[in-house]
Amino acid sequence: MNTKRVVALIIAAVLLFFSIGINTIISIFKTDFFTSIDNLMGTESLTYENVVETGDLTNRIAHLTVDGVIQDVGEPSIWETVDYNHQQFMEQLDAVLEDDTIKGVVLSVNTPGGGVIESEEIYQKLLKIKEEKQIPIYVSMGSMAASGGYYISAPADKIFAQRETITGSIGVIMQSINYGKLAENFGVEFETIKSGEHKDMFGGVRPSTKEELAMLQEMIDESYDHFVDIIEAGRNMSEAQVKKVADGRVLGGTQALRAGLVDEIGNEETTINALRKDFGLEDAELFEYTMDTSSWGSLLGVKLGSMLRPSAESEVLSKIISTTNSPRMMYLYGDY
C-alpha cells in the first residue's frame, strides 16, 4: 500500500470519527439527558420569570412578547437562534392560565403575522385566559402588527398603537412560484405520476386550472370570513365596518385609530400604565417570561452551541434543505 493511500485512509477515518462524535453530541441534546441533570440538581424550570418592576406578589402583571414571524418551526437546534419560538410562547400562555396571582396581561406585538394555524392557536389561548381568569389583556403594538399580528391582538380589551405602527393587512394569502416555463427554457421536463387530476395542483410545475383556482379561492374566502368574524367580536364592529378596511391594505397607527381597529395612540409604557390605572394595579409586580439560562442543560447547550456553530453558508444551506416549498395559507404582510 503506497503512502498516498495510507494518508487518504487516515484522513477518512478522522473525518468519520469526527462526524460520529458530533452526531452523538447533537443526539444527546435532542434527548432529555440534561433535563434529567436539571431535575437531579433541582434547577429544572419550564418558565423563568424576570421581574421588571417589583410590587405586590399576589397581584401581578404578566408582560408577554410576540416578536418575529408567527410560525412553528419546532425546537431550534443548539446553535440556532430564532426571533419567535411558538412552542415556548404557548407554554407562557399556559403558565398565565395556571397562575392565580396574575391579574392582568400586557401583550407586546411586533410581527408581520405568519401562519393561519399558529395565529389561531394564540387567539384561542388568549380567549381562554380572558374567559376563565376574567383578567384584562392590553396590547401594545410595536413597529409592525400586521395581518396575523392584528389577528392575535383582536381579542384584547384595549389596543395601543404608535403613530408609526404598520398594522391592518387584514386578509389571507397563499403563494406559489410557477417555474414550469423557466425549466422548459433550460430543457428540463417534469414527469408526474399522480393518483388524481388535481394531486399536483399549485405545485409550481404547471399553471393552475380555473377549477383549481376556484377551489383555492374558496379556502381563502372561508379563512378570510373567520378573520373578519373575530375582529367583529373583538372590536364590537359590524361586518361592514370591518370590511371597509379589510381588503389587505396596511394602515398607520392614526389611520387604524380612526378606523376603530385600535383604541389609543401610545407606546409600551403607556399601555402598562393604562392597565395599572384602569384596573387598580398600581402596586402590582410586573414580570416577563424569559429563557431559563441558569439550568445546567441551558448553560452547556449555549457553550457547546458557540463552539460547534456551523458557518453562515452551512446554516443557509441547511435552512434551504429543511424548508418545505409547499404553499400554505398565511395571515402575513410582506415576503418573509
CA distances from 212 to 204, 206, 216, 322 (A): 13, 12, 6, 28
The crossing angle, in degrees rounded to 10, of helices 86-98 and 116-133 is 10
SS3 state at 222 = helix
Grid coordinates representing 75?
Answer: 425546537
Cβ contact 171:225 at 8 Å: no
Where in the sequence numbering do the catalytic residues fall? 147, 199
Q: What is the four-CA torsion angle of 315, 316, 317, 318, rounded to 10 degrees?
A: 50
Asked if 217 and 242 touch (Cβ cutoff 8 Å), the reply is no
Residue the block writes with cell 453562515: 312
Q: Which residue has the cell 378573520?
A: 227
Helices of type H across the chain:
3-29, 33-41, 86-98, 116-133, 148-153, 180-185, 210-235, 239-243, 253-259, 268-278, 296-308, 312-322
Q: How many CA atoms lie within 13 A of 89 on its CB side?
A: 28
Which among 319, 331, 68, 322 is positioned nearest to 174, based on CA atoms? 331
Residue type (1 letter), 184? E
